[in-house]
Amino acid sequence: MLDKSQRVRLIGFPIDLGTDRRGVDMGPSAMRIADIDLRLQALGYSVIDEGDIPIRNIEIQEEQHARLKYLPEVAEMSHVLSTRVKDVLDSGEFPLIIGGDHSMSIGSLAGIGAHCKENDKTLGVIWIDAHADMNTAETTPSGNIHGMPLAIAMGYGDSSLTSIGGDFRKLDPRNLAIIGLRSIDPGERLLIKELGVAAYTMFDIDKLGMHEVATRILEEMSRSVDHLHISFDVDGVDPDIAPGVGTPVPGGLTFRETHLFMEMISRIDAYASLDVAEVNPILDVRNKTAEFAADVVASSMGKRIL
Q: Among 16, 158, 233, 284, which one carries the catalytic annotation?
A: 233
CA distance to 208, 276, 283, 293, per residue, from 248 (Å): 24, 16, 10, 15
Q: Among 235, 263, 275, 295, which one carries the catalytic annotation?
A: 235
Residue 146 a catalytic site member: yes
Q: Among 129, 238, 275, 284, which one carries the catalytic annotation?
A: 129
SS3 annotation, 6-23: CEEEEEEECCCCCCCCCC
Q: Among 25, 37, 52, 102, which one carries the catalytic annotation?
A: 102
From edge to edge, which strands make up the β-sheet containing 176-181? 46-52, 7-13, 94-99, 271-277, 227-233, 123-128, 176-181, 198-201
Q: Among 115, 146, 227, 259, which one carries the catalytic annotation?
A: 146
CA distance to 139, 183, 234, 263, 295, per residue, from 299 (Å): 36, 26, 15, 5, 6
Q: Which residues contact 280 (CB under 8 A, 6 or more apart)?
A: 21, 23, 24, 26, 27, 244, 245, 246, 289
Q: Among 25, 73, 101, 131, which one carries the catalytic annotation?
A: 131
Q: Among 52, 73, 133, 257, which one carries the catalytic annotation?
A: 133
Residue 240 a catalytic site member: no
Q: What share of the chain is helix, strand, coil (3-state, %, to 5)?
A: 45, 20, 40
Q: Among 278, 284, 291, 295, which one carries the catalytic annotation?
A: 278
Residue 129 a catalytic site member: yes
What is the DSSP secondary structure assignment for residue 174, as one 8-state letter? G
Q: How far apart are CA 168 and CA 112, in angstroms?
A: 12
Residue 133 a catalytic site member: yes
Which residues are known catalytic residues? 102, 129, 131, 133, 146, 233, 235, 278
